[in-house]
Amino acid sequence: MQKGKRNDDGLSAAARKQRDAEIMQQKHQQTLRTILSYYCWCH
């Protein structure tokens, strides 16, 4: 085991891209919820 290597090196590039896309989507949805809640509080 080399130090500094990410432990997702076992994943294929496609699997890593898929996971990153899911994480980005979750962050996007969380951001939208935050904006919506602010919007509701302000109106």
- Per-residue model confidence (pLDDT) at position 14: 94
Instruction: Judge contact between 22 and 30, C-beta under 8 A.
Output: no
| Banded model confidence at residue 12, pLDDT cuts 50, 70, 90 | very high
**How many angstroms separate the Cα of 14 from the Cα of each of 5, 19, 25, 39, 41?**
18, 9, 16, 37, 41
Number of C-alpha atoms within 13 angstroms, CB side, residue 9? 7
Q: What is the pLDDT of residues 14-39, one digit of tens each?
A: 999 999 999 999 999 999 999 998 88
Token look-up 């432990």 returns 7
Is residue 11 pLDDT above 60, yes or no?
yes
- Per-residue model confidence (pLDDT) at position 4: 59
- Per-residue model confidence (pLDDT) at position 39: 83
